Structure 1
């Protein structure tokens, strides 16, 4: 198998969104039943109706999850106990401490692995080492629900040798359901700025920055920061991606893909990026841009967002959720005054440009969980995976326990009380219930999925849950814009069968991969120089930057991405 490089820009948008989706789970009595019984969303049980089902023998397997969490046995959680009652299976879960590559490298060197492994960004190393077993035959024999959920994506999941080695986390089941809150990109502005301006309709790039400039000018004695940006480590995309969104494109990574031809072009040197950097340069010259944006780390950035002094920024909701939740907590302490919280806006360069901040339905096929060559009983594990992929168990691991974590109204709609919402903000409680362990990183219905009855699989995408989490002030502000949820402020996403392009693997050492490896260094060097330099030096610095980018294999990269985007679109369409 060829060594490949995963394009990092934007990959966390799906993994870390979990900070935004609230929490969730299902009724103990409902979910202790056989997962296939009486559920139209589940593959048929092969056991005859009159034959009593034997209680499964207990078994404990090991699972290493390359993300941060507290280690535990799954049967020490309420959901894990229910699943163990169904299947007899418990997992001893270990999570990442320290460096990911070092941890995975040690496994590979010793050729000793946990039974199942979620290696996150190190998945290429695991695949190259041959550490995952092929799942094809196991799925055929023991995975009717796996087939039901993943079969539309099998073409994308197969490696070059035709085998499926892991199960991703983003298979959309049912009707696609965008998030009613904003967990993706937006230009954020403090509520007090909108309030003082009379809640104007802000659509364009210039309108947004003029709004901030006017407010800062009227409050010059408060030592406010007009705008700041995030550049730390891999999160640098929060500064490089905005011109792509401003031009009306979703987060495809480093390219803008033509909807008709699928031609993929970089935007790193186009007029949009120049216009974006020139605005930051103007704001810096006026003393309205935080110069420390180019040296602050992530924690410092979040601390500034919660300080109350920053009027605006661009970022992804999942990436700033910690700060947003901290501000919301402060609002409650301050008697409900939410002036210092932020409102997301779908800003574009021009008023006639349709925004595309909200992700379309997508399938990310470069992250997932697999069964390793060290696994003691792959058949038992695949059967457990299959049992997870029923409507009942997906409701269990996402929504929680009925009457404890969610309710059902007389129309069959799932919702949460304010008390349930508040309790699930406690990460220790989430872990105790099991949501904090099972809501992601297992075979699952993707985040935008819906159940056959129309309820959202993910609680954060259920409008009733989103609206219940809004304060009276939020509801009043949304009403001023004629909407009930933040997502209604944004355009619906257009269908893009290749999406997201950033999930496409590039062959290690290829010209295309060399471009992605070297481009960030050029941007880090020149973006600070361009933004913080004197305005009369802007054009000179910009031209230097463009010359350096053009020394990279841009044409090879664009050609490769165009070909791969077309291939991915064809595969997802079954061609």
Structure 2
């Protein structure tokens, strides 16, 4: 039986072997080798060509062979391994259900939401011995997190994404939750400071009444994303307004570490009341609860939406479309809006590691050590730099202080989707073992998190807004995140069919049904609609759900995952 202590001991022994190998090489070969290369030399890598089937159920994308990309070809030359990558089409549960029923699995699976079903079916092999023998670089990168994805039986069945190494590096731009405003509105009214929900809604409604049409189209003062699984972008709002980060369906007390739901809290009531009043004034998007995701993006891209709440990563295509349209005042700016003055915003996520998702090797894979060897090569710093930055001198430069930066031309190159596809950035930037944070030299792992790159990407119009608010990056409007060692609570392992999973499914149904009624109700009926919702919501076992997350949070605070 493989235990966590055994793995940690193995890591320590690997480090000693690496040091010895470096010393011997220096004595016999009369040249120095860095620790990563020495570690890699200690693992015998077979170069006989082999192709594995890599099924990604977590993201859409273009199916391809990794050796069709620059990075994939380079890694194949080093390891002999190529992957035929397939992405999910259709329903994830149906696809994985067929796999489970037949026992016919791809060699590698990124299972996403189907992870519990595949684990229960015994689809994944334990990786412990493989990591000890063939994954020294993986062990080094994930060393602080191993206990977070080691299962109760002592086994590791998958490698999560995004281990933070060295220093945590927040994004200079906002890619998480925020209240977004068409930034020309801020210019129109002299770049006012907007902190509270009332201030935010007041400036939007004022502009909407003065500008009922934009470019010949009816102005939409406020909208929101409520479609399908993205409904959380609507239900999470009161939590953020109250000064909490996205811990899922609960907010966690910073002192007691007790978790409580907020769906029927006074925070939620206050948020829905504000929307109800907007609706009564004809200032709320009437299609907010019925439009799909594409329709939502189309509206944002049109330039007639004045404000909305969302997570930056969800509407990148709309942001790009607005920039390409060439009217910079129609673009959106993120604001850290809270209910009241004195509430510290917590929109920027604190350092986090999501240990309940990842990529695993299935029982059908032959010679699984070859897969581990590929991953072990991929995780090395020089290869992560290729994935995240490209080639020095072509796609980024290094200044006299060792800081990475990009010129406008380089930024344009690496942001071009065709280049990213062909080079392999699109393929390897997620859904594979990878690192976050900073490299050992202090540069951000992700180019987008490097302040020098963010500033270089700003055009003169962007700088007008930055200068008006006395900031050098847009994220500087937001507070630094408080430390939350349990974060995110939503990454707790909730199994299919468990009381917590059933609660979330039923609660989601209730919220979808009642929140729309509450918002769209006649103001005279608001309290009745709210009371009906609370009664329905409290018919569920809320206490048990809260107790579950309280236990999860408090265990994590104690260092138990």
- Cα 1:47–1:187, aligned 2, differ >3 Å: closer, same or farther? closer
Contact kept, 8 Å, 1:397 with 1:435, in 2: the verdict is yes
Contact kept, 8 Å, 1:514 with 1:553, in 2: the verdict is no
Q: TM-score if structure 1 supplies the norm length?
A: 0.88
Residue of structure 1 in register with 2:378 after alignment: 388
Residue of structure 1 in register with 2:453 after alignment: 465
Residue of structure 2 in register with 1:9 after alignment: none
After the TM superposition, which of the residue ranges 244-253 and 560-569 deviates more from structure 2? 560-569
Taking CA–CA contacts closer than 8 Å with sequence separation of 6 or more, which of the two structures ends up with the larger relative contact order? Answer: 1
Residue of structure 2 in register with 1:65 after alignment: 56
* Distance in 2 of aligned mates of 1:221 and 1:154: 55
SS in 2 for 1:505: coil
Residue of structure 2 in register with 1:152 after alignment: 144
* Distance in 2 of aligned mates of 1:101 and 1:318: 25
* Distance in 1 of aligned mates of 2:465 and 2:505: 44
- 1:138 is displaced (CA, Å) by 1.1
- 1:461 is displaced (CA, Å) by 0.5
Residue of structure 2 in register with 1:398 after alignment: 388
**Is 1:376 paired with 2:366?**
yes
1:556-567 superposed matches below 5 A: 556-567=544-555
- 1:268 is displaced (CA, Å) by 0.6
* Distance in 2 of aligned mates of 1:54 and 1:492: 44
Deviations 1:14-66 (A, max 9, x none): xxxxxxxxxxxxxxxxxxxxxxx9776737426489xxx98833222221112
1:180-195 superposed matches below 5 A: 180-195=172-187
- 1:506 is displaced (CA, Å) by 2.3
Aligned Cα root-mean-square deviation (Å): 1.9
After the TM superposition, which of the residue ranges 93-102 and 193-202 deviates more from structure 2? 93-102
- Cα 1:510–1:230, aligned 2, differ >3 Å: closer, same or farther? same
Contact kept, 8 Å, 1:156 with 1:571, in 2: the verdict is no
Contact kept, 8 Å, 2:45 with 2:373, in 1: the verdict is no
Unaligned runs of 5+ in 1: 1-36, 332-336
Contact kept, 8 Å, 1:41 with 1:390, in 2: the verdict is no
**Is 1:161 paired with 2:161?**
no
- Cα 1:428–1:541, aligned 2, differ >3 Å: closer, same or farther? same
Query: Which one of the candidate residues 302, 306, 311 is aligned to 1:311?
Result: 306
Residue of structure 1 in register with 2:36 after alignment: 42
After the TM superposition, which of the residue ranges 413-422 and 464-473 deviates more from structure 2? 413-422
- Cα 1:297–1:411, aligned 2, differ >3 Å: closer, same or farther? same
**Is 1:252 paired with 2:223?**
no
SS in 1 for 2:302: coil
**Is 1:79 paired with 2:74?**
no
1:268-307 superposed matches below 5 A: 268-307=263-302
Contact kept, 8 Å, 2:397 with 2:404, in 1: the verdict is yes
* Distance in 2 of aligned mates of 1:372 and 1:402: 37
Residue of structure 1 in register with 2:171 after alignment: 179
Query: Which one of the candidate residues 194, 201, 209 is aligned to 1:202?
Result: 194
SS in 1 for 2:461: helix
Residue of structure 2 in register with 1:478 after alignment: 466
Residue of structure 1 in register with 2:8 after alignment: none
**Is 1:98 paired with 2:87?**
no
Residue of structure 1 in register with 2:106 after alignment: 114
SS in 2 for 1:121: helix
Residue of structure 1 in register with 2:23 after alignment: none
Deviations 1:262-297 (A, max 9, x none): 100000111110110000011001111001101000
Residue of structure 2 in register with 1:444 after alignment: 434
Query: Which one of the candidate residues 329, 349, 353 is aligned to 2:343?
Result: 353
* Distance in 2 of aligned mates of 1:86 and 1:398: 19
* Distance in 1 of aligned mates of 2:495 and 2:113: 15
Deviations 1:119-176 (A, max 9, x none): 1221111111111100111111222111111121111101121110000002100100
- 1:427 is displaced (CA, Å) by 2.2
SS in 1 for 2:430: coil
* Distance in 1 of aligned mates of 2:355 and 2:458: 34
- Cα 1:38–1:239, aligned 2, differ >3 Å: closer, same or farther? farther
After the TM superposition, which of the residue ranges 450-459 and 506-515 deviates more from structure 2? 506-515
- Cα 1:218–1:398, aligned 2, differ >3 Å: closer, same or farther? same
- 1:567 is displaced (CA, Å) by 2.0
**Is 1:341 paired with 2:331?**
yes
- 1:502 is displaced (CA, Å) by 1.0
Residue of structure 1 in register with 2:322 after alignment: 327
Contact kept, 8 Å, 1:39 with 1:391, in 2: the verdict is no
SS in 2 for 1:474: helix
Unaligned runs of 5+ in 2: 1-30
Residue of structure 1 in register with 2:511 after alignment: 523
SS in 1 for 2:193: coil
* Distance in 2 of aligned mates of 1:296 and 1:504: 31
Contact kept, 8 Å, 2:438 with 2:444, in 1: the verdict is yes
* Distance in 1 of aligned mates of 2:280 and 2:33: 63
- Cα 1:181–1:48, aligned 2, differ >3 Å: closer, same or farther? closer
* Distance in 2 of aligned mates of 1:41 and 1:348: 48
SS in 2 for 1:45: helix
Contact kept, 8 Å, 2:46 with 2:370, in 1: the verdict is no
Contact kept, 8 Å, 2:117 with 2:496, in 1: the verdict is no
Contact kept, 8 Å, 1:120 with 1:368, in 2: the verdict is yes
* Distance in 2 of aligned mates of 1:483 and 1:201: 13
Residue of structure 1 in register with 2:485 after alignment: 497
